[in-house]
Structure 1
Amino acid sequence: MTFFIFLLACAAAATTGVMFKPGPWYEALTKPSFTPPNWAFPVAWTIIYLLLAWAGYRLSLIPGSQTVLALWAAQIALNTLWTPVFFGAHQVLAALVILAVLWVVVAVMVVLALQLDVVTGLILFPYLAWLCVALALNCSILMKNRL
């Protein structure tokens, strides 16, 4: 049952991608050469959200994981916030700030999770890697488009 609570939180975050689609505004932006193809985003995020739910569940079973679980809650809130700010409000700088804070939260979460349970820390690592790509992409879009 606990896994499904984490999965529900991830699904709620994912709904922002359905509500605030990239659309013509995003397509018109000048993007860097390393921009993943459009199909890669839903694939990557589906995998990441499943891994996040699994990691959250595993953390909930570990005594002393309250701090990491608080970081899990913070990251899902920040994750949920980024899409409407970037795609909905077209506030690329604000989205970059959110993403930078999200990256720090997830980096700390990964380090603390590794200390509690190596497997859980490794489950979270692809998320951190994808956030590195997202941060570079968001920053590049900001610079290339003078937004």
Structure 2
Amino acid sequence: MLIFFLLFLAASAAAAATGIVFKPGNWYEGLTRPGFTPPNWLFPIAWTYLYISVAYATARVAGQDGAQLALALFAVQIALNTLWTPLFFGAHRLGLAMIVLALLWVAVAAMGVAFIGLDLIAGLLVLPYIIWLSLAAALNWRIWRDNPAA
């Protein structure tokens, strides 16, 4: 299981690296953001926890019979996750980022259901990710709505 965990963590690290390349910066600070926006320091902490826990959850299901769909959904969600940051913070394409985030939410929800069918603990480990993505979607939507010129 350790090798699986390290491989899934490496995929997650690639997604996380987009946050290093495409930083929020002055553009983001100048946007109108809703009052429920978490403080900036919370984002790297939350994402670190989520990437580690989802990599662990995926490693739990990886060696099981019938895990193909669950692993394919992991691949889809990590690809969409990797795409969101450059779209939002790099290209400032808030609407397109919202579409990617909606697809990401669906992929993660489906992944969670697939995980629960294989390993209850793995499925439960996906719940914080869904909650965080729900908050991220609300933020993305409000920022897009409240900053039409962005």
Q: TM-score range by the shorter chain?
A: over 0.9
CA drift at 1:9: 0.4
CA drift at 1:115: 1.6
Percent identical among aligned pairs is: 54
Which residue matches 1:105? 107
CA drift at 1:100: 0.2
2:23 is equivalent to residue 58 of structure 1: no
SS at match of 2:8: helix
CA drift at 1:117: 1.1
Report Cα offsets for 1:54-84 as digits up to 9, x if no partner. Answer: 0111110221010011000000000000000
Distance 2:54 2:119 in 1: 14
Which residue matches 2:44? 42
Which residue matches 1:72? 74
Distance 1:145 1:3 in 2: 40
Tell which deviates more after alignment, 107-116 or 71-80: 107-116
TM-score, scaled to structure 1: 0.98
Which residue matches 1:11? 13
CA drift at 1:2: 1.7
2:117 is equivalent to residue 115 of structure 1: yes
TM-score, scaled to structure 2: 0.96
SS at match of 2:87: helix
Task: Give the root-mean-square deviation of aligned CA atoms.
Answer: 0.7
Distance 1:112 1:3 in 2: 18
Report Cα offsets for 1:29-53 as digits up to 9, x if no partner. Answer: 0000000000000000000000111
CA drift at 1:116: 1.5
**Which contiguous aligned blocks of 4+ residues in structure 1 show a shift greater than 6 angstroms?**
none
1:23 to 22, 25, 38: 25
Which residue matches 2:90? 88
> Number of residue pairs matched?
147
Distance 1:36 1:96 in 2: 18
CA drift at 1:114: 1.0
Distance 1:64 1:18 in 2: 36
2:137 to 135, 138, 141: 135
